[in-house]
Amino acid sequence: MTNEVTEGKTAARELAARLPGWMVWYGEHTRRYWATPRSKAAARGVLAEADTPEELVDVVRHMTDGTPLPERAPEPQGVREIQGSETMRPFPGHTEPRHSREPVGARTARD
């Protein structure tokens, strides 16, 4: 893993040189490449993310000048983007936490 992190950080430094005006880094835990504009005005919540350095360059170009994203292989089975009207469902076997305390309004006076 250390070698992968070192290679990711090296690739991120090279990307930063290719993408002036963007701050680029490699996430050690996510194992993904990230970029955000250096300018506060341009940043405004903009965050680019990709699996590979090449994909990050494509995403940044798309965000800056509208260059169409190249066709990629379909996402793996079971991975998809959640639509706005969908609600997330708990994973199988998940149960809601049980609270041992009653709400304040439910208490009764004790004699």
Q: What is the pLDDT of residues 62-84, one digit of tens each?
A: 888 887 888 765 544 444 444 44
Distance CA 49, CA 8 (A): 13
DSSP-assigned states of every residue in 71-98: P-PPPPTT--PPPTT----PPTT--PPP
Q: Residue 102: what pLDDT?
A: 65
pLDDT at 98: 63
Which residues does 5 contact at the CB level (< 8 Å), separation at least 6? 26, 28
Model confidence over 19-48: pLDDT tens digits?
Answer: 988 999 999 999 999 999 888 766 567 888
Mean pLDDT of 49-60: 92
CB environment 71-98: b (16+ within 10 A), e (fewer): eeeeeeeeeeeeeeeeeeeeeeeeeeee
pLDDT of residue 63: 86
Q: Is the pLDDT of residue 107 over 70?
A: no
Q: What is the pTM of this model?
A: 0.58
Query: pLDDT, tens digit, for every residue of 4-14?
Result: 889 999 999 99
